[in-house]
Amino acid sequence: MILVTGGAGFIGANFVLDWLRTNDEPVVNLDALTYAGNLENLAALQGDRRHIFVQGDICDRALIDRLFAEHRPRAIVHFAAESHVDRSIHGPAAFVRTNVEGTFTLLEAARAYWSALDGAEQAAFRFLHVSTDEVYGSLGPNDPPFAETKAYEPNSPYSASKAASDHLVRAWHHTYGLPVLTTNCSNNYGPYQFPEKLIPLMIANALAGKALPVYGDGRNVRDWLYVGDHCAAIREVLARGRLGETYNVGGWNEKPNLEIVHTVCALLDELRPDPAGPHARLITYVADRPGHDRRYAIDAHKIERELGWRPAETFETGIRKTIAWYLANQDWVADVQSGAYREWVARNYGDRPA
């Protein structure tokens, strides 16, 4: 049995689905079901006795203790986090609570549980913390990619809260001996991603004939990682990663945001042409967000060298799969685009002059 936090969100749900596709070890899935957590992501597991869903908050110590006592997991895979930079700018308090206080609560509960295990179970236990490349800050155009030894320089409330959680995880290993592993991943994309992030937002807006908002000059660079590849990397780290180590997980796909938007438009022109004209006509430049990091890039040699992992998808294959999934799952998109979501999009993008 493993315990997954945030397993109804984008990456967490993909991980749970992939986990139960590849083996029969049951999953206890703890998710608070905030705006980005969606049980529809897990509809394929309805009636599957290997999947035990619990709605709850990782800041609830009594609940975490009860789950440990009842299910006795051999590992925790910790996805649960507030994860959108724009939302962190508008409301940082939720990011500090979930990402810092929540991780602290989970670490303390895990430490108490792990300390009481017998020798073999204690030796086998793992706490895998899923983090982000944004903790490393911003790169110049000619700087080398982020290695695991790169100093932390977070520039947004989101990345600062994730950096704080990374430091807590490291400290609980070095101070208390808790057997931890940390992964820092690049920008994920793929099925079930909430349409506030760049790729699903562009797909949804383009299909609706709405403006495709691009921050600044559109030349901010990110390394793009297909979510299925990320899930495979986490499984490898959980199985064979060295205790206390950090593994950067990247897609070897550095691309500027504007290129991503044009790629989405071109594929939609092919797969779902718009009688009104090419989808790229909808691209609209808006004022940049505060503190927008210019470039992220991941050096993923360590995980390849030690664990043999490399991404299976190129960006070209992954983005085609992603767009095909969204085209085939328009009901899912409509369901998650609630009134609250529309209000947030209007708030975030509506007041940004070109």
Are 129 and 183 spatial neighbours (Cβ–Cβ below 8 Å)?
yes
CA distance 277 to 279: 6
Which residue type is seen at 223?
A: D
Among the options 133, 196, 223, 313, which is catalytic?
133
In DSSP terms, 55 is beta-bridged to: 31
Catalytic residue among 113, 158, 189, 226: 158
Contacts of 8 (CB under 8 A, 6+ apart): 29, 31, 33, 37, 38, 39, 41, 42, 53
DSSP codes of every residue in 231-285: HHHHHHHHHHPPTT-EEEE--S-EEEHHHHHHHHHHHHHHHS--TT--GGGGEEE
148 class by beta-carbon count within 10 Å (0-12 exposed, 13-18 middle, 19+ buried): middle
Question: Would residue 133 show up in a list of annotated catalytic residues for this protein?
Answer: yes
Q: Is 134 considered catalytic here?
A: yes
CA 40 to chain centre: 17
Q: How far apart are CA 51 and CA 316, in angstroms?
A: 33
- Bridge pairing between strands 254-256 and 221-226: antiparallel
Distance CA 47, CA 268 (A): 35
Catalytic residue among 82, 134, 196, 254: 134
Q: Cβ–Cβ contacts within 10 Å for residue 56, how many?
A: 17
Count CB atoms within 10 A of the CB of residue 164: 20
Catalytic (active-site) positions: 133-134, 158
